[in-house]
Amino acid sequence: MYGPPVDLSFKDLNNVTGAMSEVSRIALRPLRTNSKNKYLSQALRLSNNNITHLIGLEFMLSHFLAEPSMLGWLDLSFNKLTSIECVLCELKELRVLYLHGNDIWNLNDVNKLGGLSHLHTITLHGNAIENLKGYRSHVILALPHLKRMDFSAVTRQEKALANIWCKTFKSAKKEEKYVSTDNKVIQ
How much is the pLDDT for 78?
Answer: 98
User: What's at 32, amino acid-wise?
Assistant: R
Q: Is residue 82 part of a domain?
A: yes
Residues (pLDDT < 50) of the chain are 176-177, 179-180, 185-187
Q: Is residue 128 part of a domain?
A: yes
Residue numbers of the domain that contains 42: 6-186
What single string gives the DSSP state of each residue in 79-106? Answer: S---S--GGGGG-TT--EEE--SS----
Alpha carbons 136 and 131: distance in angstroms, whole number: 10
Q: Is residue 141 part of a domain?
A: yes
Q: Is residue 1 part of a domain?
A: no
Alpha carbons 180 and 111: distance in angstroms, whole number: 31
Q: Is residue 111 part of a domain?
A: yes
The CATH number of residue 69's host domain is: 3.80.10.10
pTM over 0.75: yes
Domain count for the chain, please give it. 1
In DSSP terms, 112 is beta-bridged to none
Q: Which of 55, 47, 45, 63 is nearest to 15 (CA)?
A: 55
Alpha carbons 45 and 49: distance in angstroms, whole number: 10
In DSSP terms, 16 is beta-bridged to none
Alpha carbons 89 and 94: distance in angstroms, whole number: 9
Q: Is residue 127 part of a domain?
A: yes
How much is the pLDDT for 180?
Answer: 45
Q: Is residue 44 part of a domain?
A: yes
Tens of pLDDT, residues 32-62: 999 999 999 999 999 999 999 999 999 999 9
Q: Is residue 15 part of a domain?
A: yes
